[in-house]
Amino acid sequence: MTKLRHKLKGQLLALRMTKVDTIIFVEGTENDPIFYEVIAQRYSAETGRAVQVRLADELPNALPQRKRGGSGGKRTLVRAALFLEKWRGTGAARLLQGKEIAFCADKDVDDLLGKLDNCPAVVYTPMHSAENHIVVDSNLHQAICCAISTTAHSLNNEITDCNRLRFLSHHWKEWVVFCLVSLKLGLTKSGNYGQESLFNNPAHAPADLTAAKLKFDEVKKTSGIPSVQFDAEVQAVTSLIDNLIANDRFDEVFKGKWYISVFYSLLDASVTLGPRCRACGKNGLWIGIRSAFAPEERLYRHYANAFAGLR
């Protein structure tokens, strides 16, 4: 642990030497850097500060954290943020005064699991993840036309409203409930956010409620948890999800990366657009959607205010 602290201290001390005013460490290597670059460019233009986005991989101990499961980026970021918060008031760290050093992470469902850290330097996404914001704040019609190389007329003939994508995500309600219940009860081997829905086939179709019930019953029997407790948790989570959907907040619990599976499935089902969609692939869809990302004012202010509070 001492060696790790020294590595972190050395990494953060080196930031005194840079002329960059605002440094944003982010998790992920695909969508997250682009998401935060867009935020950073506007923040730099608005404040006149030099802003730089860096990956969590640059921080010490990032690789061991990844080996513990998932990307490991969030664990690395939170650990570094907590160290900086304790160390920043010391003599050596005073030279960092005036610099904004933020550690930006996906909220995921950590708020519902009581896992959010209250360190000011840790800035969470308001929605589930960066991908949710990219989809919500993108011109999907323009993005898909670009990604699959089709015309607006052709796309309109097949899909009347690209924003239907958010409505289609509601079909995954049962799967989100299943994942949340599994997480809260420690049954992640049965279902978790790393998987795509076992209840929606194809992905853009309504859930197979019979299959969902069989899976819930199966897990209840094998979990070792009293039936009453299991049923009560399912009911509580279902009520929560219903409320979020009713208030247009489903993106707080729906994983953003799942959007591409839903939309890919929708396009793939089209006779004329299916071949173009398959040629483009899921990565191509993400590229198109990222290119059309323009954060709404409230999202931008969420980050701008958080960064300004770290000087």
Chain segment 254-297, per-residue pLDDT in tens: 999 999 999 999 999 999 999 999 999 999 999 999 999 999 99
Q: What pLDDT sits at residue 191? A: 82
How many C-beta atoms surround the C-beta of residue 290 within 10 A?
21
Q: What is the 3-state secondary structure (H, E, C) of 196-253?
A: CCCCCCCCCCCCCHHHHHHHHHHHHHHHCCCHHHHHHHHHHHHHHHHHHHHCCCHHHC
Please name the helix (run of DSSP H) or strand (run of DSSP E) that holds residue 191, with its range, or none. none
Mean pLDDT score across all residues of the chain: 88
Does residue 3 carry a pLDDT above 50? no
Report the DSSP beta bridge partners of residue 122.
103
* Whole-angstrom distance, CA of residue 186 vs CA of residue 225: 10
* Whole-angstrom distance, CA of residue 26 vs CA of residue 287: 19
Domain ranges of the chain: 2-133+294-308, 160-269
DSSP 138: B
pTM: 0.90
* Whole-angstrom distance, CA of residue 278 vs CA of residue 272: 11
CB of 128 closer than 8 Å to CB of 109: yes
The verdict on whether omega for the bond into residue 120 sits within 30 degrees of 0, i.e. cis, is no
Does residue 66 carry a pLDDT above 50? no
115 or 9, which is more confident: 115
**Which tokens go with 21?**
């005013």
CB of 22 closer than 8 Å to CB of 307: yes
Report phi then psi at 293, rounded to 5: -80, 125
Q: What pLDDT sits at residue 69? A: 44
Q: What is the mean pLDDT of residues 28-54?
A: 95
**Which tokens go with 231?**
């049923």
Does residue 73 carry a pLDDT above 90? no
Q: What pLDDT sits at residue 152? A: 86
CB of 129 closer than 8 Å to CB of 256: yes
Which CATH fold topology does 2-133+294-308 show? Rossmann fold (3.40.50)
Report the DSSP beta bridge partners of residue 105.
124
* Whole-angstrom distance, CA of residue 154 vs CA of residue 40: 35
Q: What is the pLDDT of residues 116-166, one digit of tens each?
A: 999 999 999 999 999 999 999 998 888 888 899 998 888 888 776 666 788
Query: Within 13 Å of residue 102, how many CA atoms lie on the same side as its CB?
Result: 26
